[in-house]
Amino acid sequence: MAIYYLDARGIAPSRGSSTVAAAAYQSGDRLRDERTGDLKAYSRAERVAATGMELPDGAPALDREGLWNLAEAAWPGGPELTAKRYVIALPRELDAETNIGVVREFCGLFPDRARDWAIHDDGDGNPHAHVLVSALALDESGFVRPKAQKSSKIYLCRDARGEDVMVASKDWKAAKAAGIEKVFNFKDGRRLTMSEAKAEGLGNDDRKSRAPVSVTAAPDGGRAFDAEKAELKRIRASWAEIANRALAAQAAATGEKAVEIDHRSYSDRGIARIPMIHEGSRPEPWIVAENAKIRALNGLLETAVARVTAQLAALKRAAGAWFARKGDAIAERRRAFIERQRARAMAVAAAKGKRKRTEQGDDFADQELDWEYSGLDDLFAFKADEASAANSGGRARGLDGVPRWKPGTR
């Protein structure tokens, strides 16, 4: 059945990754990386079922090799990305043509970027798509670098008095000259400057990472990581919507039951199940073994949840039956109480009317009898509700919690 899988990773030359190499791998083409002079070519091109490129309106006519070499030429250095690579699992229920359509619709989520896509299908029931999306917008002049600074690195530092200060990367040289030091995470859980660490006999090998403690701040002052995370959630939800529309359309056309994929985690969906590790086409043995353990644990969890769910359902049915019986009994007591009080009132009114008929005539007696009876049912119902509340334990209060009577009074 259809499953949800979407993986997003950045490609940056500073990390040793190449956009030209990624494009060659997913498309099966032989591409020359002009930055290094290497020819990027990969085997198993036969698994590539379809490829395509989607460029913004007005962008120059570029082939795959020219496009991604241009993207790397626009890279200024440092940790910036040249592209993002998305890998998405395609529903097996959809045919090849429909899968191409949903991949192109996914590319439409990035209208001002260059998009290069390929569908891989080994015939093993795991069709998936690779989509490269340029980090920069593309227009008639080429890749466009934003005029405003996107984000800035801010370091946790410590001054000579031992007080923590935050220093932006652009101010680091001046801060260093003033004797301020960057702070690092150490394996013992502490955060120390290198001067503090050396005083305790600690060195670089005792650090958890070579990178100092820092945070990337967005222009609005928030964490850039949070903005990236929100954007990824939007893309994940959009892919689920695109795939589900195609699955629903196919189900309507064939009369089959529609299936859906869901981008949310088990935790967000309230499902008590441990997620498994994605195995891929050639899984490593440790992943297969770990997934076997997870399947066993999930079986135990599902059995326990099913048992508790059945018990809760039985309790709910029993409680519903008890409340129904209780309600019927209260209604019957209320009806009997009203009937008794009505009969008593009618008897009193009849006796009173008899006396008045003797004294003043039938017409007056009828009017008096009607006046005596008017509104009695409402009064009796009110008294019946008071009695029911008393029988239920609210001895000194009515159904609405307002004091109505006291023991020994009427």
Distance CA 339, CA 362 (A): 26
Confidence at residue 204, expressed as pLDDT on a 0 to 100 scale: 93
Distance CA 88, CA 311 (A): 40
Sign of CA dihedral 48, 50, 51, 54: negative
Confidence at residue 272, expressed as pLDDT on a 0 to 100 scale: 75
Confidence at residue 275, expressed as pLDDT on a 0 to 100 scale: 78
pTM of structure? 0.60
Confidence at residue 5, expressed as pLDDT on a 0 to 100 scale: 92
Confidence at residue 198, expressed as pLDDT on a 0 to 100 scale: 95
> CB under 8 Å to 69, separation ≥6 — which residues?
20, 32, 33, 34, 35
Distance CA 56, CA 217 (A): 29
Task: For the chain, 410 residues long, give each residue's pLDDT as a single digit of tens.
Answer: 678 999 999 999 988 899 999 999 999 999 999 989 999 999 888 899 999 999 999 999 999 999 999 999 998 887 789 999 999 999 999 999 999 999 999 999 999 999 999 999 988 888 999 999 999 999 999 999 877 666 778 899 999 889 898 898 888 999 999 999 999 999 999 999 999 999 999 999 999 988 999 888 766 666 667 778 889 999 999 999 999 999 999 999 988 888 999 998 878 888 777 777 777 667 788 888 888 998 898 888 888 878 888 899 999 999 988 888 888 888 888 888 888 888 888 888 778 766 665 555 544 444 444 444 445 555 556 666 666 555 555 444 444 444 444 444 44
Please give the helix or strand (H or E) that residue 85 lies within, else none: strand 83-89
> CB under 8 Å to 395, separation ≥6 — which residues?
407
